[in-house]
C-alpha cells in the first residue's frame, strides 16, 4: 500500500498551512490584545478572506469582461476566478482532439493581470459533454476521457490552483450516477480521471466536486468513503469541493461538521459554487453561516460564489448572489464581509 506524502503538492500545501498559521496567530493576537483596540477591517471580500490566508472567488463569464461595472466589481472584490462554462468539455474540445482554449485563456490572462488565482472547472462531467463523446462506448470513451484530461489539464498546467477533476458522479442516495462514464467504464473511472489529471498537472490541487453535500447525508457519506479509499490506496486526490447551491431555508445544522470530517480525513475542502436563493436578512444569515463554517475549518482554503451579480446568475429568479442586478452590495455582501473580518 502506497501512502501519499502530505507535502506532495507544494503550492496548495503552503496555502493550507498559511491559513492554519494565520488563524492561530490572529487568535493569539486577539487573546493578547487589551480591550478596546480596534482591528483594521478590510473593505473587500478578497482582502478580508486573505486575512486568514484564504481566497474569495467567483465564477466568471469571460464574455462579460467588457462590461465596465462587471469588470470593476470583479477586479475590486475577488482574488480567485473560475470559468462558469468555458473550461468544460463541450467548450474546450468541440471535436475529437481539436481543442479550443480561447475563452479559458482569456480568463487566465485576466486573472494573471489582476493577481488572481484560477480554479479549473471541470475536466469530467456527465453534462455538457460534446455530442461526439455522448455516443462513445468502452475503450473509445476511456481514451476520449483520458485524452481530454491530458489536453486540458496539460494546457493549463501551472495556471490552475485547483481542478474540479470529476463533477457530480453520485446520486442523493449515495449510489453512483448511471452516466455514460459509469455505465461504459465501471467504478474505476473516477480513479482513472484523477490519475490522468495528476500526470497532466502535478501541482494543481485535485478536487472531487458535487452538490447536495451541504450536510452529513447519504451522498456526502459516499464521497467520504471514496476519499478514504483513495487516500488509503494512494490515488491522487487533494480536495473535495462543496458546490453549496442553497436557499435561505436550507438546513445548515451539519454544514460545518461535514466540512470538518473531510478536513480531518486529510483533504482540503473548498466551497466551490456558493449561491443562496432568498433576500434580506434570511439570505444574509445563511451566507454568514456558510462563511463562518469555512473559517472554522483550517483546511477550508477558500470560497467561490457562482457569479456575483444577480444580473447574470443561472438562478436569477431567486436573486442568489452578493450584488444586485445593478452591482449594488446586498445585505448578504455585508454579512459575508463582516464574517471574514471577524475571523
Ligand atoms: O451556471 C452554469 C450554467 O450557465 C450552465 O447553463 C449550466 C449547464 O449545465 O451549468 C451551470 O453551472 C453548473 C456547474 O457547472 C456545475 N454545478 C451546477 C452548476 C449550476 O447548474
Cβ neighbours of residue 272 closer than 8 Å, sequence gap 6 or more = 82, 119, 121, 164, 207, 209, 241, 242, 243, 244, 304
Which residue is closest in CA terms to ligand 1's atom 14? 84
Asked whether the predicted pLDDT for residue 280 surpasses 80, the reply is yes
Q: Examine the pLDDT at 36 and tell me if it is beyond 80.
A: no
The model's pLDDT over 163-174, given as tens digits with 9 standing for 90+, comes to: 999 999 999 999
CA of 91 to the centre of ligand 1 (A): 13
Contact between residue 56 and residue 272 where contact means Cβ atoms under 8 Å apart: no
Query: Residue 141 above 50 pLDDT?
Result: yes
> In this model, does residue 288 exceed pLDDT 70?
yes
Instruction: Please tell me if the CB atom of residue 312 comes closer than 6 angstroms to any atom of ligand 1.
Output: no
Cα(343)–Cα(49) distance, integer angstroms? 9
* Cβ proximity of 40 and 80 under 8 Å: no
Determine contact, residues 1/233, Cβ cutoff 8 Å: yes
Check pLDDT > 70 for residue 16. Answer: no
* Per-residue exposure over 129-150, b if at least 16 CB sit within 10 Å of its own CB, e if not: bbeebeebeeeebbebbbebbb
pLDDT of residue 22: 52
Give the global pTM: 0.92
Residue 293 has pLDDT above 90, yes or no: yes
The Cβ of residue 284 has, within 10 Å, a number of other Cβ atoms equal to: 23
Helices (H) and strands (E) in the chain, counts: 13, 9
Centroid of ligand 1 to alpha carbon of 296 (angstroms): 28
213 phi, psi to nearest 5 deg:
-110, 35
Given this model, what pLDDT does residue 8 score? 36
Q: Assess whether the C-beta atom of 314 lies below 6 angstroms from ligand 1.
A: yes
pLDDT over threshold 80, residue 246: yes
User: Tell me, what's the pLDDT at 13?
Assistant: 38
Angle between helices 280-296 and 255-265 in degrees, nearest 10? 20
Q: What pLDDT does residue 14 have?
A: 43
Give the pLDDT band (50/70/90) at residue 338: very high
Best probe residue, ligand 1, of 84, 119, 315 (max atoms within 8 Å of C-beta):
84
pLDDT category, 39, cuts 50, 70, 90?
low
Give the residue-averaged pLDDT of 318-337: 98
**Angle between helical axes of 218-233 and 189-200 (0-180°, round to 10):** 60
**Which residue has a Cα nearest atom 12 of ligand 1?**
84
Of the ranges 21-30, 61-70, 133-142, which one carries the lowest mean pLDDT score? Answer: 21-30
pLDDT tens across 102-112, in order?
Answer: 999 999 999 99
**Cβ-contact 201, 156 below 8 angstroms:** yes
What pLDDT does residue 40 have? 78
Name which of 170, 173, 212, 166 is nearest 191 in CA terms.
Answer: 166
| Contact in structure between 202 and 160 (CB atoms under 8 Å) | no
89/92 Cα distance (integer angstroms): 5
% of the chain at pLDDT higher than 70: 89
Distance 9 CA to ligand 1 centre (A): 29
Domains and CATH numbers, the chain: 6-341 (3.20.20.80)
Asked if 77 is an active-site residue, the reply is no
When the pLDDT of each residue in the chain is averaged and rounded to a whole number, the result is 92
In a 10 Å sphere around its CB, with 0-12 CB exposed, 13-18 middle and 19+ buried, how is residue 26 labelled? middle
> What value does the mean pLDDT take over residues 41-47?
97
Report the C-alpha gap between 57 and 134 in whole angstroms. 32
Cβ density class 105-122: b for 16+ within 10 Å, e for less: bbbbebbeeeebbbbbbb
- Between strands 80-83 and 162-167, the pairing is unpaired
DSSP 3-state assignment of 238? Answer: coil
Write out pLDDT tens, residues 176-235: 999 999 999 999 999 999 999 999 999 999 999 999 999 999 999 999 999 999 999 999
Active-site hit among 117, 168, 273, 292: 273
Q: Which of 16-25, 143-152, 287-296 is the least confident region?
A: 16-25
High-pLDDT (> 90) share of the chain, %: 88
Tell how strand 80-83 and strand 55-60 pair up.
parallel
- pLDDT of res. 163: 98
Tens digits of residue pLDDT in 80-98: 999 999 999 999 999 999 9
Amino acid at each position: 500500500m502506497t501512502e501519499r506524502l502530505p507535502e506532495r503538492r507544494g503550492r496548495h500545501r503552503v496555502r493550507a498551512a498559511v491559513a492554519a498559521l494565520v488563524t492561530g496567530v490572529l487568535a493569539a493576537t486577539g487573546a493578547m490584545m487589551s480591550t478596546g483596540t480596534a482591528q483594521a477591517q478590510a473593505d473587500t471580500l478578497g482582502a478580508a478572506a486573505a486575512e486568514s490566508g484564504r481566497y474569495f472567488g467567483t465564477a466568471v463569464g469571460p464574455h462579460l469582461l467588457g462590461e465596465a461595472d462587471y469588470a470593476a466589481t470583479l477586479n475590486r472584490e475577488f482574488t480567485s476566478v473560475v470559468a462558469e462554462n468555458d473550461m468544460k468539455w463541450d467548450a474546450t474540445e468541440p471535436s475529437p482532439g481539436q481543442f479550443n482554449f480561447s475563452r479559458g485563456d482569456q480568463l487566465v490572462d485576466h486573472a494573471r493581470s489582476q493577481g488572481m488565482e484560477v480554479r479549473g472547472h471541470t475536466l469530467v462531467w456527465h453534462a455538457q459533454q460534446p455530442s461526439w463523446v455522448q455516443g462513445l462506448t468502452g475503450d473509445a470513451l476511456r481514451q476520449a476521457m483520458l485524452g481530454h484530461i491530458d489536453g486540458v489539464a496539460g494546457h493549463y498546467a501551472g495556471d490552475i490552483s485547483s481542478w474540479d477533476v470529476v463533477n457530480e458522479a453520485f446520486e442523493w442516495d449515495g449510489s453512483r450516477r448511471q452516466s455514460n462514464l459509469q455505465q461504459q467504464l465501471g467504478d474505476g473511472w473516477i480513479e482513472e480521471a484523477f490519475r490522468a489529471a495528476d500526470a497532466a498537472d502535478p501541482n494543481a490541487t485535485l478536487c472531487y466536486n458535487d452538490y447536495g453535500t451541504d450536510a452529513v447525508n447519504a451522498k456526502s457519506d459516499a464521497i467520504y468513503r471514496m476519499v478514504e479509499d483513495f487516500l488509503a490506496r494512494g490515488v491522487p486526490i487533494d480536495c473535495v469541493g462543496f458546490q453549496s447551491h442553497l436557499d435561505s431555508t436550507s438546513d445548515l445544522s451539519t454544514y460545518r461538521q461535514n466540512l470538518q470530517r473531510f478536513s480531518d480525513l486529510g483533504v482540503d475542502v473548498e466551497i466551490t459554487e456558493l449561491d443562496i436563493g432568498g433576500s434580506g436578512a434570511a439570505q444574509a444569515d445563511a451566507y454568514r453561516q456558510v462563511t463562518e463554517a469555512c473559517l472554522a475549518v483550517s483546511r477550508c482554503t477558500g470560497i467561490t460564489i457562482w457569479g456575483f451579480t444577480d444580473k447574470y446568475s443561472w438562478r436569477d429568479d431567486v436573486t442568489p448572489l452578493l450584488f444586485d442586478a445593478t452591482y449594488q452590495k446586498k445585505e448578504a455582501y455585508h454579512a459575508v464581509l463582516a464574517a471574514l473580518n471577524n475571523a
